[in-house]
Amino acid sequence: MKIENLTEAESLSQKLLRKNRNVITLGLLAKVHIYKYRESMRKGLNLIAEADKTKAFDLINEGLKMDSDNVTLRAMLESLK
């Protein structure tokens, strides 16, 4: 994914999250941060990668507090371990 698309995806996800903070929007933004984390790791930008990983963890955990049985969020969490 191109940087411009990733930036746009993050911006749109954040807007959706501000309007309606739920499991779906939390998961969407977490997915963007997971992608940013993987891209930064691939480029050797470890500090930036860890910041995105932490943001993804926080978003996923917030979503799991709302719906502890959410299979998608659990899978996303496992993919970060």
53-64, pLDDT tens digit by residue? 999 999 999 999
Structural domain spans, the chain: 3-80
Q: Quote the crossing angle between the two packed helices 46-66 and 23-43, to the nearest 10°.
A: 160
**Type of residue numbered 5:** N
Put residue 20 in one of left, alpha, beta given phi > 0 → left and psi -120 to 50 → alpha.
beta
Residues 7-35 have pLDDT tens digits of 889 999 999 999 999 999 999 999 999 99
What global pTM score does this model have? 0.89
Query: Mean pLDDT over all residues of the chain?
Result: 93
